[in-house]
Structures are given as structure tokens and as C-alpha cells.
Structure 1
């Protein structure tokens, strides 16, 4: 992997406890849609964050970081970025990147800021021209955590092959889908045979989804998620 120092071009709170970060590497970097980087806090302390965009002419890296006050793992990273104005990263990492040679219909499933992973993949598919149906399911606890809701609605309105389904766990006034995001997919698809499914979110969510999707006929080599390297 390549190690590079990045200047912090933007660090903005998108919603309560959710941060947008834009980094500018000092030299050009390469990565595939759906890969992640490691923030180097120390040689024995490297913290993974999904890259939320694709490679572009500006050469920037976008991150979406969830950081509550009790989450020192992420808060320490944000504080170093704020204090120093730069950060060292290693990349690319991750095997669950977009399979651009596949023509299967695609389901992207995100939990919370796992949306960053699915956004990178979707952005590349849109740039290439959608050749197959794509369904993006985004599960969050609260409505204000759908920080890219307007962007997703605009993309779905522009591309007839794209379906966007936000799913909330907790809401009294929400008129859309509620419950757990993997269960929404289970309800909508009688079978997952023949689909490429990409998953990002908490390890517990990824593990539950894997077992549930097996019952729907998912082929193991068409289920992608970096969590599966560890669970």
C-alpha cells in the first residue's frame, strides 16, 4: 500500500455526530471504487475509513465519519485533522470493491456511514452508464442521519435504472420504510440469486445480513463486504 500525507481541505459536520472530510494527497493516489484507506495514528494504530468518492481530476479523497463524544476511535482522528491540518494515510485497502466486469443487477446495502462505501461504487457505475438495475438501501437510526438524501433522490430521478430506499429504525413521523435495512431487502426480493450484493456498516449488521441472505439464495461469490474478512 502507498503511504501519503494529505492536507485537510474540508472538515464539516453534515449532521449531528456525522462529519464530511475532504483530503488532498501530496502525490497522486490510486484506488478502486469501494476501497478504503487507513489513517495512520501510529505504526501499530491504523484506522480504516471508507472512501466516499471515486478517483477524479482533483485527486481528492472524501470520507464520511461518524463520531460521537464517547467514540474516541473516530474523535481522535478528527481532532488530529483539526489540530494539524493534515493526516497520514495508507491506501488502497479492501477486497470488496466494485466488480466492473459483472453485468448482474446490483444491491447496495449501507448502515449509517457505511453509505460512503456504497456511494463510491454507485458514483462509478453512474459515470460508466448504468447497464443493469441498481438498488441502494440505506439504513439509519434517525432521519437527520440521511445526510445525502437529496443527492440520492436526485440521482434516482435522473437514472431510471436506480432505485433508492432509505430505511429508518426510529421515527414517529417518517412516512417511508422502517425497521432494519436487511429486512427491507428480504421483503422486497423473493430471491437474491443472480444479484451482486455489496454491504457496508457495523460488523454485527453484516453478519446478520449474510446469514439472512443465504436463505434467499445469494451466491457466496456475489456477496461483497470488507467486514467478511474479519467475521
Structure 2
């Protein structure tokens, strides 16, 4: 992996306790859409975060960080970036990157800020031109956490092959969309998952439950991708 110092270009709160970070590496970096990075806090403390954009001409790296006062793991990273104006990263990491040569239809499943991982993949697919159906399912606890809802709706309006399904676990009377758990929405919508490339990002518990459920629908192990599956 490459180690590179990155300067802070942008930091803004997209939703309550969810932050957009854009960094500019001091030298060119290379990664595949869907790979992740390690924030170097110390030699023995390197913290993984998804890269939220595809490789681009200006070389910037985007992150979506969910940081609350009781989540020291992420909050310490955010504070370090804010205080210093720069941070050391190691990248790329991860094997759950986009299989660009595949012609299978794609399901992208994200939980919370796991959307960052699916966004990197989706951005690249849109840039390459959608030649196959793509379904993105984004699950959150509360509707206000759908911080990129308008971005996805705009992409859907531009690309007939793209379907976007937001799923809210704890809905109120104002929410008119799907409710419950995001993997259950996929289970309900697809009689079979055979022949699909499925990319999963979110908490390890969610990824594990989804893998077992998707087996019931015939998902092929070599077409199910997620960094969590390297550890669980």
C-alpha cells in the first residue's frame, strides 16, 4: 500500500453527525472503485474508511464519516483532520472493488455511511455508461440520515437502468417509502439472486445477516462482494 500525506480541501456536515471530507494527496494515488483507505493515527493505529468517490482527474479523495461524541474511533479522526488540516493515509486496501468487466446486473446494498462504498462503485459505472441494470438499496435508521437522497434521485432521472430504493428502519408518519431492514427489502423484491453481482457495505453484523439470507435466494459466493467478508 502507498502512504501519502493529504491536505484538507473541504469538510462539511451533510446530516446530523455525518461529515463530508475531501482530501488532496501530495502525490498521485491509485485505487479501484470500492476499495478503502487507512487513516494513519499512529504506526500501530490505522483506521479503515471507505473511499466515497471514483478515481478522478484531480486526484482528490472523498470520505463520509459518521462521527458522534460517543464514537471516539471516528471522532478522533475527524478532530485530527480539523486540527491539523492534513492527515496521513495508506491505500488502497480491500478486495471488494468493482468488477468492471462483468455483465451481470448489479445490486448495491448500503447501511448508513456504507453508502460511501457503493457511491464509489456507482460513480464509476455511471461514468462508464450503464450497460446493465443497477439497483441501489440504502438502509438507514432515520430518514434524515439519507444525506445523499437528492444526488441519487438525480442520477435515477438521468439513467433508466438505475433503480434507487431507500429503506428506513425507524420511520414516522412523514415517511412514505420502504421501512424495515435493507436486506429484507432486497429479499422481498427479488425471487432469485442467482446471476447478480451484489456489493455490500455496512456494519459487520448487517453484512453477516445479509450473506446468510441471500444464500436462501441462490446468491453465488463469487458474486457477493464486501470487505466485511474478509473478517467474518
Q: TM-score of the superposition, structure 1-length normalised?
A: 0.99
Q: Which residue of 2 aligns with 1:162?
A: 162
User: Over the residues paired in the alignment, what is the CA RMSD in angstroms?
Assistant: 0.4
Flag structure 2 segments of 5+ consecutive residues without an equivalent: none
Shift of 1:11: 1.1
Task: Note the residue ranges of structure 1 that are not aligned, 5 or more in a row.
Answer: none
Greater mean alpha carbon deviation, residues 8-17 or residues 211-220: 8-17
- Displacement of 1:58 in angstroms is 1.0
Distance 1:18 1:136 in 2: 20
1:169-222 Cα shifts (integer Å, max 9, x gaps): 011121000000000000000000000000000000000000000000000000
**Structure 1 Cα separation of the partners of residues 74 and 10 of structure 2:** 16
Distance in 2 (CA, whole Å) between partners of 1:74 and 1:157 is 34
Question: For the residues of structure 1 that align with 2:171 and 2:38, how far apart are their CA atoms?
Answer: 34
Residues 55-76 of structure 1: per-residue CA shift (max 9 Å, x gap): 1111100000001110000000
**CA distances 1:52-98 after superposition (whole Å, capped 9, x unpaired):** 00111111000000011100000000000011000000000000000
Aligned match of 1:44: 44
How many Å separate the matches in 2 of 1:190 and 1:74? 38
Task: Determine the structure 2 residue equivalent to 1:17.
Answer: 17
Aligned to 2:209: 208
Q: For residues 37 and 149 of structure 2, what CA distance do their matches in structure 1 show? A: 24
CA positional deviation for 1:143: 1.0
Q: How does 1:186-197 map to 2 (within 5 A)?
A: 186-197=187-198
Corresponding residue of 2:111: 111
SS of the aligned residue for 2:47 comes to strand
Query: How many residue pairs align between the two structures?
Result: 231
- Partner Cα distance (1:44, 1:171) in 2: 41
Q: Does 1:63 align with 2:47?
A: no
Which ranges of 4 or more aligned residues in structure 1 deviate by more than 3 Å?
Answer: none
Deviation at 1:132, TM superposition (A): 0.3
Query: Structure 2: how far apart are the matches of 1:160 and 1:214?
Result: 29
